Structure 1
Amino acid sequence: MNFPCCASVKIAIFVDVFPIASQTFVLNQITTLIDLGVDVEILALYPGDQIVLSQPSLAPYQLQRNVTYLLAPKRTVWQQLGHRLSKVGKGLILGKNRRTILAGLKPEFSAQARNLMLSTIAATHSAPLKFDWVIAHFGSSGVVANNLRQIGVLEANIATVFHGQDITAELKFKHTQQNYQRLFKETELLLPVSELWKTQLLSMGADESKTYVQRMGVDLSLFMARRTDKSTKVLHILTVARFSQKKGLKYALQALAKLPSTMQFSYRLVGYGELEEELKAQSSALGLNDKVHFLGAMNTQQVAEQMRWADVFLQPSITADNGDKEGVPVSIMEAMASGAVIVSTLHSGIPELVAHNVNGLLAPEKDADALAQHLNSLYLKPDLRLELADNARERVSALADVVKLNQQLLDLMSNYKRYH
């Protein structure tokens, strides 16, 4: 459904790579804004997995028509440098974009000047890209968008969404904090996905008057399930995640191995990632192969079906060795809407969504014993499962409706333009 009131608004979603299957929060925002009548374009530095756009929920939007890729596909360092030198050289010789190309080489842009990123983008755009707003996902994308605006390639107000890794692990990278200080000072809106990350941004020097919590929501129409009695003899446990360290999946397997031998359960893992083979080996070593099933990557509709199957959604997130943390996992919101009970950890922004013993169960990070106790309790107490699930649906409906959240964002951006 389109809303004509928003038809005059032109917004660009700015990301590093598009599309990425695991970044459902980006895809949800794009399609929701389109449904709200907004003129949406996608600016991405590099192309991602185009098969993602053929999913049944995305195909009708034909998003490939809305994407502008600012750089050539990733390649080896020397191939990339040669390609960029060619683009920049031709641009300087032809002279059309000489001012913006040279501006992209300023030392203040650090690595993005040295690797010719900004100048290459400038060389391929003879006129500035104009939008009412650019919504950049992750701090690094906000920095690039701001730099492109500084050299004259981009004309727009800029709002940057901070998710987690960008204000934890990436702070260790050279120049990140310096770049963020410029971002805080020069751009219009800073949008952390949780109260925790808002506090973090303010502690780093962000202006409170331009910093607002903007949660990532879910399509409740797809995931909201009717209340059903899931009291079965086999506890259905599900995880949907990228197989990376911060997801804490090895502790999920350890917890399952600690469950009583009389307890009947089936555990499904949906996803992919760098730890997949390690997790499969761990499952085998723990003697769980008959109860643990790796299903691979799935599209949104397939994930929704798995959510409806699940009694429990297990998300044992941890702080990774490099400091990387979650924001508020969208998969938890999807599971809450679907009627699954959340078993997760006291990690990052998760407790802002899941209240222990109210709409889910939480354990300390890396505590397999506590996770096992929670799972066993839910197996033995089907009435508790129903109570927690009902409360979770109510919580997610109030806090994570993607349509309401993006309408609120449009209102915020509209008011910013009106009063600044």
Structure 2
Amino acid sequence: MGNRKVVVVLKGYPRLSETFIAQELLGLERAGLDLVIVALRKPTDAKRHPIHAEIEAPVHYLPEYLHQEPVRVIRSLIACLPRAGFRRAFGALLADLRRDCTRNRVRRFGQALVLANEWPSGGQWLHAHFAHTPASVTRYTSMLRGLPWTCSAHAKDIWTSPDWDLAGKLSSARWTVTCTRTGFEHLRKLANGSSSVHLSYHGLDLARFGRFEAARPARDGSSAENAVAILSVGRAVEKKGFDVLLQALALLPAGLHWRFEHIGGGEQLEWLKALAQKLGISGRVSWNGALAQEDVLAHYRHADIFALACRIAGDGDRDGLPNVLVEAASQRLACVSTQVSGVPELLTHEETGLVLPPEDAPALATALERLIRDPALRMRLGDAAEHRVRAHFDYRSSVDQLKTLFEQEWQAAQ
């Protein structure tokens, strides 16, 4: 399959919050695909996961803002004007602008011009990760180069993009995969039931998240010296519901001993720290910032409970199936989360975790109190969750599915 070079378009690369993408890229490389990574912006994270060093694909960066590299953009425009696909791509841009007249649309077209002009040698296929801006650049580039394209849709890109935009991309792409049943059903509806939309769970590289065999301490919240450790991992953004989680922690009985650790960066971090202070729980809360994957794994193994209060944000943004929940479950952690998007596809209430309505701090507090006081319940839920992950969420299944989809297209083109 090495004679079929796939150009993978990402919003940013590498990113600590998108290990599932890095995992998939490495899996596809190991399955024999020849990849080139094209990112719309340079990395903003100071750290990298070890997996990024294992990916061999070269990385190319497009101008994040067109005015920053005008010569590069103008040179690409001049080179693309005579192309047979320019009129079609420009027509698509005009149609998009009639519905969404924003600088963002023009910027994506300019980035597509640069990609089409500075085309990686040997590239024969385009694949976008995320159905919003990366897919816009990919779709325009597909028209400019006359090449097929495909897409992996995830969460925010599905739920914050207008239906007309998604429908146009679904009809243009050869196939689209997405990682939750709720996302799959939404996209299938927009694609008029087309079989070109596929459900493909990301899964987990179980070699990196090996079995945690050690027995966790039977803490029950009765000892200040041996407090129950509650962990959450995720960017401090609205859809993660960390404010709801902090409010739930503040509702726990005064005599119950616990500590909370958060891992991740994000725009709401300072606001959340102030909220913890206002709620009177800041002395029990640790903010660790963004960490590399091996450090996150160590925190999973030292924690007693994993909590994630997912919600639907005001702009419609929401999680798909948070990879951190799958990671935590793989380490036999008892998980508590909400009935949002793909969470119930991993966690079944009272069987493999506790699953609650979103935006309900009192219900979350009650669930956390149960788990804090009952180490046997934590063990039962954690063991069941780990069994489910190892039986149904091995990332190799997703990689095999993607490889098959690519192979079917290439065989049909011969």
Structure-1-length-normalised TM-score:
0.86
Aligned to 2:312: 319
Residue 68 of structure 1, CA deviation: 1.6
Could you tell me which residue of structure 2 aligns to residue 138 of structure 1? 130
Q: 1:114–1:316: structure 2 CA closer, same or farther, 3 Å change rule?
A: closer
Is the Cα–Cα contact under 8 Å of residues 17 and 44 in structure 1 kept in the other structure? yes
Residue-by-residue CA offset, 1:127-168 (whole Å, 9 max, x unaligned): 75554543311112223212211122x63x422122121221
1:15 corresponds to which of 10, 27, 39: 10
Q: Per the alignment, do residues 379 and 44 of structure 1 end up closer, same or farther by CA in structure 2, a change over 3 Å counting?
A: same
The alpha-carbon distance between structure 1 residues 28 and 114, as it changes in their structure 2 partners (threshold 3 A), is closer
Return 324-333 or 18-27, whichever deviates more: 18-27
Alpha carbons of structure 1 residues 120 and 10: separation in structure 2 relative to 1, 3 Å:
closer
Q: Which runs of 5+ in 1 are unaligned?
A: 1-5, 75-79, 172-176
Q: For 1:97-141, what per-residue CA distance to the aligned partner results, in whole angstroms no more than 9, with x for missing partners?
A: 432495354323536897264356435755755545433111122
Could you tell me which of 92, 95, 99 is aligned with 2:82? 99
Q: Which runs of 5+ in 2 are unaligned?
A: 221-226
1:184 maps to amino acid? L
- Give the distance between the partners of 1:274 and 1:113, measured in 2 at CA: 21
Change (3 A) 1:33 1:91: closer
Residue 40 of structure 2 aligns to which amino acid in structure 1? Answer: L
The answer to whether structure 1 residue 58 and structure 2 residue 52 are counterparts is yes
Distance in 1, matches of 2:115 and 2:313, equals: 39
Match of 1:292 among 268, 271, 285: 285
Equivalent in the alignment of 1:339: 332
Conserved? CA contact 2:240–2:308, under 8 Å = yes
1:243-392 equivalent positions in 2, closer than 5 A: 243-392=236-385
Partner deviation per Cα, 1:46-81 (whole Å, 9 max, x = no partner): 22237444x433324455xx1122x2244xxxxx34
**Match of 1:217?**
203
How does 1:177-188 map onto structure 2 within 5 Å? 177-188=163-174
**Separation in structure 2 between the aligned mates of residue 91 and residue 406 of structure 1, nearest angstrom:** 34
Q: Distance in 2 between matches of 1:215 and 1:158?
A: 20
Shift of 1:96: 4.5
My pick for the range that moved more, 124-133 or 329-338, is: 124-133
The 1:126/1:115 distance shift into structure 2, 3 A limit, reads closer
In structure 1, what is the equivalent of residue 219 of structure 2? 232
Q: What one-letter code is carried by the residue in structure 2 that aligns with 1:58?
A: H
User: Matched residues in 2 for 1:31 and 1:160: separation?
Assistant: 17
The residue number in structure 1 matching 2:154 is 163
Q: By how many angstroms is 1:226 displaced?
A: 2.5
Greater CA drift, 362-371 or 101-110: 101-110
SS in structure 2 at match of 1:283: helix
The root-mean-square deviation of aligned C-alpha atoms, in Å, is 2.5
Measured at CA, do residues 134 and 261 of structure 1 come closer, stay the same or move farther in structure 2, by a change above 3 Å? Answer: same
Distance in 2 of aligned mates of 1:68 and 1:119:
15
Alignment-derived partner of residue 3 in structure 1? none
Asked if 2 retains the 8 angstrom alpha-carbon contact of 1:87 and 1:120, the reply is: no
SS at match of 2:176: strand
Deviation string for 1:388-411 (max 9, x for gaps)?
111111111122212232122212
Asked if the contact 1:21/1:49 (under 8 Å) is kept, the reply is: no
Q: Secondary structure at the match of 2:50?
A: coil
- 2:405 corresponds in structure 1 to 412
Change (3 A) 1:38 1:51: farther
Distance 1:120 1:138 in 2: 16
**Paired residue for 1:122?**
113
Picking from 27, 31, 35, the partner of 1:32 is 27
